[in-house]
């Protein structure tokens, strides 16, 4: 555990989460959600949960990102939020 590194990652996480929820284009949201997942995976690995971090990186950034993109492609990418 290196707490300075974790502090930077936490700030990054909060920033990515807010941008993912506030962006007008849903593709931007999905990319920021992938960034969120990767930062969370780094944080888990730094907290000692190597297995959880690995799973989060594979699933949250790989498979879920692709599923989000195809769902948005089938519907629409614009929103007013």
Partner 1 sequence: MKRSFESPITLLGARALAPFIMMFGLYVIFHGHYSPGGGFQGGALLAASVLLMRVASGSKTSSLILSNAVTTPMGVVGVLIYFGTGLLAMLLGSNFLDYEGLPIPGMPPYYLRYTGILIIEVGVGLAVMAALVLIYDKMADGEVTE
Partner 2 sequence: MEMFLANYAYGFTLLILCIGLYGMFFKRNLVKKVIGLSIFQAAVIMFFVSLASKMGGTVPVKWDEIPVEMIDGYMNPLPHTLMLTAIVVGVATQGVAFGLLVNIWNRFKTLEEDTLNEAILEDSRD
The separation between CA 56 and the C-alpha centre of its own chain, rounded to angstroms, equals: 10
69 binds, among partner 2, partner 1, none (CB under 5 to 8 A by kind): partner 1
Whole-angstrom distance, CA of residue 76 vs CA of residue 47: 38
Judge whether 60 and 41 are in contact, CB under 8 Å.
yes
Q: Is 66 in the site for partner 2 (CB under 8 A)?
A: no
Residues 5-64 that bind partner 1 (CB under 8 A): 50-51, 54-55, 58-59, 62-63
In the complex, the smallest distance separating the C-beta of residue 78 from partner 2, rounded to whole angstroms, is 9
Q: Is 29 in the site for partner 2 (CB under 8 A)?
A: yes
Segment interacting with partner 1, rule: CB under 8 A, options 9-17, 20-28, 29-37, 67-75: 67-75
CA nearest 57: which of 74, 45, 34, 41? 41
In the complex, the smallest distance separating the C-beta of residue 51 from partner 2, rounded to whole angstroms, is 6
- What is the residue whose two structure tokens read 């907290």? 47
């Amino acid at each position: 555990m290196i707490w300075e590194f974790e502090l930077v990652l936490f700030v990054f996480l909060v920033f990515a989460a807010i941008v993912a929820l506030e962006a007008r284009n849903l593709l931007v949201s999905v990319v920021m959600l992938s960034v969120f997942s990767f930062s969370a995976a780094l944080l888990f690995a730094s907290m000692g949960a190597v297995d959880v971090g690995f799973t989060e990186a594979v699933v949250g950034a790989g498979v879920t990102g692709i599923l989000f993109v195809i769902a948005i492609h089938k519907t629409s990418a614009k929103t007013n939020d």
